[in-house]
Structure 1
Amino acid sequence: MLEFSQHQERVFFGMSAYFCFEGIPFHAIVHKREIIEESRDKFVIRDEDTVILSYPKSGTNWLIETVCLIQTKGNPKWIQSVPVWQRSPWIETKKGFPILINKEGPRLMSSHLPFHLFPKSFFRSKAKVIYIIRNPRDVLVSAYFFRHKINLIDNPESLGTYFELFLKGNVTYGSWFEHTRNWLSMRENDNFLLLSYEDMKKNTRGTIEKICDFLGKKLEADELDLVLKYSSFQAMKENKMSNFSLVPEHMVTNGLVLLRKGTTGDWKNHFTVAQAEAFDKVFQEKMAGFPPGLFPWKYP
């Protein structure tokens, strides 16, 4: 269970912007306590479903775009006509949950839920999960800048403030370290595919082929080329169904930029030497026991 200081409670719970469910903070704007509880205890994930799972700001929407294009063999009509949050609804959100419970046939869905809050039915199913991880230093920086584009939540006044909250797990969806540790316990399961943002950047085509194999999808070379083309950073940035430009203006500041840079290692431009050292120390403590080769970024 997370413990919050009075200052952190103001950051989280000021103006009822957040609520805490079993130790995990959630946005009251997009989440509801009853939905999270119902999705965990009663929502049925079917054998034919596919779930895209991640900690926030790990490349989730890029992965969704890629999987959607794999399903259409590179045809961009679907991704250019239906918003990303409708193509792969979020299990735990007010808008996503009703769509999923009423949808028939194989479903594509997304989630940031930690292991202990994920639908229990998944663990008795053959449904496939694709879990994407990203260097948590880049996750932290990306999340900080993203938050400052949203008007409906309390934003930390500095990167330094957010840095401390992140290391303690006092951020939306809780600790990156706990989220990742727990989900990585599934990595040897046949219905669990582990990907990394860094590998997707380094070898995008190879990653797409790996996803195709996992999902049992056979794409020809020209179809793979189309998936690459329409899931590129520039293509997604220009696609209003994928770049979140459809979000109402009153909710954002100077336009919501979902795709800010699309790079790796940006944390080096923002961390101080002391912050980098502090982060490495926490990483070593929290992620002890995992082989260094499991993470595609530099291991402390």
Structure 2
Amino acid sequence: MAEPKGARPTWSGAIRLSLVVLPVAIYRAVDVRSEIRFHQIHKPTGKRVRHLNVVPGQGAVEREDIAKGYEYSKDQYVLIEPDELKALRLESKDSFSIVRFVDRNQIDAIYFEEPFFVVPDGEAAMEAFVVIRDALRSTKRIGLGQIVLSGRERIAALQPCGKGMLLETLRYAEDLRKAEDYFAGIKNVPVDKDQLGLAQKLIEQKTGDFEPDRFKDHYENALRELIERKLKSKGRRIQVEEPERKGAEVIDLMEALRRSVGRRSSGSDSETRIDRGPQAPAPRKKRAAPSRAPGRARKRA
């Protein structure tokens, strides 16, 4: 089977279901190449800052002299060589064995991590691939197993996805913080039935199909516009004026729900703020002075 142009599989191996062996290749489903990435630049020279591998008291060292080390005591390490890692024998390095089938709704969303496209590896695997895909779809189940990706064994879930299948890595239970530690302060307050009814009606009014194309990355688009403006002005500093924030109208919860339902019916969706008692009005932000630099946007490097 031909690979998508410019794509290389993240993993190649076999899906094992009892005695069925299905050769597959998996590809990352998320493309991060389109994200804007910043480099660190030395302002006086305009050149990129490079990071060196440095040992205290030794200076810069060569990459081939670096090994992985586990700190078992303060400043004491046991070294692990790359071939020693490769020699670890794990069945999940070359195969994904399905050990259980579950309803997807049984898995809390917090466990899902990263998605991968799964395709049959070769024409001979096509029939088995389609059979497993359609069986999962008809039973509305996903298959669970373990797989080694990026040097770590991960739980993974396999499910149908259009003409292919999707494999999603899952987090281990011990990797997650306990939700009850964060939710302990939430009180069980009595719920007003009328308020609940209005909230349910508002949810029903806003219910529809998931249309991901309707959501745009406004921050990414604003970054691109800023970069274009900087390029056109030959890198000169641009004066940025923050839009004045309008204070939200303060009303009580019942009135907020009534107005929200009514505005949704009329096609308007303005914001309201629930009354939590007297509050000082939000101070108006001053316009940035021409000599001051615009606030730095925090973006993953």
- Which TM-score band applies after superposition, normalised by the shorter structure? under 0.3
Higher relative contact order (CA 8 A, sep 6+): 1
Higher radius of gyration, 1 or 2: 2
Judging by fraction of residues, say which structure has more strand. 2
